[in-house]
Structure 1
Amino acid sequence: MSTPSLFDHPACVVTHLSAHVQEQLVDVLAPLGIHPRQFGLLDLLIEKDGLSQHQLAGPLNVHRNVMVGLVDELERRGLVERRRHPTDRRAHAVHVLPAGRELHTEAESLISGFETRLLGGLEPEEARTFVTLLKRVFAHAGLAGDLHPGLLTSEATLAESR
């Protein structure tokens, strides 16, 4: 009786792929001086500019204290700015500045190239099916609310966090 390879277990394959993708994504974004979480923050702000730090923390699955540091770093670099929140005097709204939009566009291009290479062993229809199936597994695992809304969750998730 032979023992199955670790790669016969979907959990092992997904774990290994996840670690590889995370490592590669860090490397892909390094020339721009940002990390994946900072890209996620910019991406969310491009989609929904003017959210409070608290509103940003939920969809990105980042603790509020960590979010303060992420915003601080992007603000120091002139990519975002805090302004008084229009409806909550206790909060600040975070807004993307033109330099942040430009950096986001560059990062999108680098990530798109990486994704093309990552899925290069698949036909285009297979790649679309693969992503669709991953999203279904993700949602079935109950993780749908823990990923950037531009990737999987709905507008309702953002509304709930307000």
Structure 2
Amino acid sequence: MEAPRFGSAFLLAQVGAHAAQRFTERIGELDLTPPQVGLLRLVASRPGQSQQALAKQLGTPATRLVPLVDGLEKRGLIERRRNAEDRRLYALELSPSGRELMGRVAQTAVSHDRTITAVLTEDERATLHALLTKIADDQGLTPGVHPGYSRLKSS
């Protein structure tokens, strides 16, 4: 009797959920959560932007980022600076500690990616990445931004 065949979308969800759980565990060792890592990564790649601009890129209301930004600022990982163009806004940037931690996060992410795709050859990894990028583009997903930000809690 033939085993049930699962669709590609199911397999993507299954592997994605597993990969997300494992990544959460790995960055937990750095005392970080996935939303914190995502925001730190965005601030690192687009320094000097306002909280409102970052929220728009993440697809979430700016008010939902306040506790996340506050917590990262308290830990000394990001800094709020007055925006030179609009004094009502703050520009967000990584602190030196935040940059150092992001280096560790990057190492963790590379190790995680290698572990999850260990069964694949380099050519297969490249093909998988290209195919997943093609699907993400077709679905209108923002590159580098997890769609879970739209569901962030404001508390």
TM-score, reference length from structure 1 = 0.82
Kindly tell me the number of residue pairs found equivalent between the two proteins.
Answer: 146
Bigger shift: 65-74 or 54-63? 54-63
- Determine the structure 1 residue equivalent to 2:139: 141
C-alpha change, 1:69 and 1:21, in structure 2 (3 Å) is: same
For structure 1, the 5+ residue unaligned runs are 152-162
Q: How far, CA to CA, are the matches of 2:19 and 2:59 in structure 1?
A: 18
Q: How far, CA to CA, are the matches of 1:109 and 1:53 in structure 2?
A: 26
**1:87-134 alpha-carbon deviations (Å, 9 max, x no partner):** 112211111100000010011111110100111111011101101100
Write the letter of the residue equivalent to 2:27. L
For structure 2, the 5+ residue unaligned runs are 147-155
**Superposed counterparts of 1:1-162, under 5 Å:** 5=4, 7-143=5-141, 145=142, 147-148=143-144
| 3-state SS, counterpart of residue 83 of structure 1 | strand
Contact map agreement 1:57 1:67 (CA 8 A) in 2:
yes
Contact map agreement 1:60 1:148 (CA 8 A) in 2:
no
TM-score, reference length from structure 2 = 0.86
- Determine the structure 1 residue equivalent to 2:152: none
- Determine the structure 2 residue equivalent to 1:160: none
| 3-state SS, counterpart of residue 49 of structure 1 | coil
**1:2-56 alpha-carbon deviations (Å, 9 max, x no partner):** 8973x52111111111211111111010011111221111112222211100111
Write the letter of the residue equivalent to 2:112. F
Identity of aligned residues (%): 31
**1:31-87 alpha-carbon deviations (Å, 9 max, x no partner):** 111112211111122222111001111223333222111111100000111111111
Q: How far, CA to CA, are the matches of 2:120 and 2:61 in structure 1?
A: 36
C-alpha change, 1:88 and 1:3, in structure 2 (3 Å) is: farther
Write the letter of the residue equivalent to 1:24. R
C-alpha change, 1:3 and 1:65, in structure 2 (3 Å) is: farther
C-alpha change, 1:78 and 1:91, in structure 2 (3 Å) is: same
Write the letter of the residue equivalent to 1:124. E
| 3-state SS, counterpart of residue 8 of structure 1 | coil
Contact map agreement 1:80 1:94 (CA 8 A) in 2:
yes
- Determine the structure 2 residue equivalent to 1:159: none
The runs of at least 4 consecutive aligned structure 1 residues that moved more than 4 Å come to none
